Amino acid sequence: MIRLENVWKIYHLGKIKLEVLKNVSLEIKKEDFVVILGPSGSGKSTLLNMVSCLDVPTKGKIYLENKDISSLTEDELAEVRGKKIGFVFQQFNLLPHLTAIENVVLPTVFREVDHEEGVKRAQKHLDSVGLSQRFNHKPAELSGGEKQRVAISRALVNNPEIIVADEPTGNVDSKTGRHIMNILKKLNQEEKRTIIVVTHDSELQEFANKVIKIKDGEIDEK
């Protein structure tokens, strides 16, 4: 489903050349549950940006369903993301002035989905993660775990094939973190969605069928 071939990401900061990713090749298949594991500064966030169409490589190729996306414009990348990929972030990224259901409906507005249909989808996904009693609560009225479940519902609302989660357990306690990971596992096993989790927490490996370790911008084969 996603294939990286000899991908480099290089930044030029004045006279300094910073190689964040170095000759990375990997493959993620449909219905995989992938954990990308690495310490802070390893390049895992940059790798996440590559596999989720948020950025393009300096050198190398990226294929999504056999389509080369490495040379697409920002508008074209945004179109791909809107159709194919749902995002879950460590900081939740919920709009504080909107209720849970309004936050979940928001991506459907950008895809020009009928409002009634958007609300119906939002209710379904919030209900599926146990938040049917929290539709009209704003983020400040929700716990960390509830906020992350709202974020997962928002990621699902346009029915993407791929869910990308960036440190999804980083701002919750360990028990809540396991609950969040179990929700993602269920989406993988029951709804056949491809899940990509980026984390520094080695304990999350147990949820994956494929673990990609990254160190100093390179895949660590050890």
* Domain count along the chain: 1
Do 155 and 125 touch, CB atoms closer than 8 A? Answer: no
pLDDT digits (tens, 9 = 90+) for 80-98: 888 899 999 878 889 999 9
What's the distance, Cα to Cα, between the start and end of the chain in Å?
25
Q: What is the largest CA-CA distance in the chain?
A: 55
Query: What confidence score (pLDDT) does residue 101 get?
Result: 95
Question: Does residue 179 sit within a domain?
Answer: yes
* Residue 146 lies inside a defined structural domain of this protein: yes
The answer to the question of residue 129 being in a domain is yes
Q: What is the pLDDT of residues 94-147, one digit of tens each?
A: 999 999 999 999 989 888 889 999 999 999 999 988 898 989 999 999 999 999
Q: Give this prediction's pTM.
A: 0.91
Distance separating alpha carbons of residues 213 and 222, to the nearest angstrom? 8
Convert the pLDDT of each residue in 59-68 to its tens digit: 999 999 888 9
Range(s) of the domain holding residue 129: 29-54+73-219
Residue 55 and residue 118: Cα distance in Å, rounded? 28
Instruction: Pick the more confident residue, 110 or 51.
Output: 51
Cβ-proximal residues to 151 (8 Å cutoff; 6+ apart), any chain: 88, 89, 92, 93, 94
**Where are the alpha helices (H) located in the chain, listed in sequence order?**
44-51, 74-84, 100-110, 115-128, 144-156, 174-190
| CATH number for the domain harbouring residue 160 | 3.40.50.300
Strands 2-13 and 59-64 come out as: antiparallel
60 is written with which tokens? 């190398």
